[in-house]
Structure 1
């Protein structure tokens, strides 16, 4: 970009002109769309767009109009970052630009001076008590997302003493607004995918039996807590520390075979003194949804959530033990339960509540609750429900 300078009648250097440098905008647009999958990159990309336009700061703000609540806020620019707290606590409710954004079509640039003249500004609490004291005077931007009462607006700022958004800069901003609107739709869609993937992983992590995900080469991508308890620290080792497979081959070979043939395969293996039943199943080729979305753009982390996008084969792991009371006895022995804890476990399996068990044993409910916590800790279960699933014959 080329910035022209002159001196006003007060002797102050003023930036008057702006011209776009060829080729810069294309790279910024590419970075913008790419950030839809990497929310940690969003602040940097928006800051580069702000610099490209030679603006003094930018604010992306989202509202749920039906609840009159702020959904997200991203502020960039040293002059306006310190004003975000005051804005969110009070001034966002009287921000005239919010109404302008709601009335304008999505992806179309509007400027404050299009509707708000100097007379309005001089009498406006928003301008006189908030915006101008923090530096900005002229603002341009508009709505970049609108759906179901949820709206996201963007505002680029010029500080006091700088000109209105006009000429080539406004034209350039108008071209970028189209892309900002498409980008925001991508961000919201990616966020839905991220939430779905995270919910799926949370459900898998609650399962009582072990679940392990592999890529095509047989490398472990994710294991739920039950698989970690069964396989221990072997998940990072060749063959997962398993032995005794019928054909003598390693588990990685079976994973690769399932990945190629796309046919499920069941086998048994030994892990220390336990016999394990393993089932390998192929995942649909388009099932890996490890996408990252918007989340809270005020604090983007970029942390991977959901199942890994390279997952190709899933393995379930079950310990083959006796049925009924004998199977429970094996687990009780392995967990090292006290006689009182064993009695509690058997009562719970029979459908007795902790309160009923306390009454029958003639002990305080607080004692039984302590026993419940001890059993959960020793078994590795996260809840009584999961404990009963683990004990199910």
Structure 2
């Protein structure tokens, strides 16, 4: 049976997949190796309709299209699903196909003979990873006809793995739900006509809408953005804004406002976000909402405040280059911007160096500067910040 070190590495891969769903195939391939299988197929099935809501697959020999063909054409008539193998199965219970479907049945069954065996699936070990009122999560591991059936050793490994997979997938589902809510929130922020930003307690910008990006890029209204830090050009105004942000991100959190003298009649309103509630945990990072609006219109609910940018060219923010916008906000150099572009395109530092015909040390130096300017600690954090910025 696989040792504890292998299981620990596998658990790490599962939680990596929680935050990056594209890693699920690799995680499932490692799960397959852990239990001595060639591949694995994870299914989230709607209990009322029997249809697949979500699926992931990983491993050797079997192509993703084969799983798609099985789900589209054979799921409801697969004897492994309709026999006693996977019916009335308990959570974290694992069963073998050869216990319920003998050699004689397999030799006569069209699904085995015409589809499963030709694609490399003869022996299956299936388990129920989790179940709710609406859905159930099932996982099948596979071996070929040339291999031996699954046994007690593989079943024991699957039982060790199953609780970790259950927790990881529950967290995955919760994370997906939160991400969907966050995307709706980002869309709502973008739809607001006033310049609006979300900042942390040090006034580092975490998110901003197109109107705020216009304002900062134009260096208009007395506001400044250096290395992703929101401030004001005038020292006393900078101190006042910094104090408002600190006040909105401490405990207890308090909102406030100040006049923006460079835009007559305009005010900066700073309000705490829910993270700064009385229930805040030590590990959470309080955030504040910064809104730039004309006070009288804000209070009366009249039409949105329309900033006058004078002769500054109008921008179609829907067509704005997100890399350029990010580079302006964090004041990146041309070379740093090219490195950022490479990372967001999925290139490694080595590939960026080859693309630009420069040394890897040069790319590393530019990457180090990128990290410092964006307050990131890894390439993954930098890419994640970029896509949240968009």
TM-score by length of 1: 0.65
- In the TM superposition, 1:1-393 aligns within 5 A as 19-81=1-63, 82-99=65-82, 100-232=85-217, 236-237=225-226, 240=230, 242-243=232-233, 249=239, 251-260=241-250, 262-271=253-262, 275-285=265-275, 310=285, 312-319=287-294, 331=306
Distance in 2 (CA, whole Å) between partners of 1:149 and 1:57 is 27
- 1:278, 1:316 within 8 Å by CA — same for their partners in 2? yes
Q: How far off its partner does 1:333 sit? A: 8.2
Q: 1:286 to 1:75 in 2, by over 3 A?
A: farther
- 2:204, 2:230 within 8 Å by CA — same for their partners in 1? no
Distance in 1 (CA, whole Å) between partners of 2:19 and 2:138 is 20
Segment of structure 1 superposing worse, 254-263 or 68-77: 254-263
Instruction: Tell me the residue number matched to 1:344.
Output: none
Q: 1:97 to 1:183 in 2, by over 3 A?
A: farther
Instruction: Tell me the residue number matched to 2:385.
Output: none
Figure out how many residues of one structure are paired with residues of the other and give that number. 298
- 1:219, 1:252 within 8 Å by CA — same for their partners in 2? no
TM-score by length of 2: 0.65
Q: How far off its partner does 1:137 sit? A: 0.7
Distance in 2 (CA, whole Å) between partners of 1:214 and 1:51 is 44
Q: Looking at CA atoms only, which structure, 1 or 2, has the larger radius of gyration?
A: 1
Greater length-normalized contact order (CA 8 Å, ≥ 6 residues apart): 1
Q: 1:143 to 1:250 in 2, by over 3 A?
A: same
SS at match of 1:63: strand
- 1:144, 1:154 within 8 Å by CA — same for their partners in 2? yes
For structure 1, the residue ranges without an aligned partner over 5 or more in a row are 1-18, 288-308, 337-376, 382-393
Distance in 2 (CA, whole Å) between partners of 1:31 and 1:378 is 43
For structure 2, the residue ranges without an aligned partner over 5 or more in a row are 278-283, 319-390
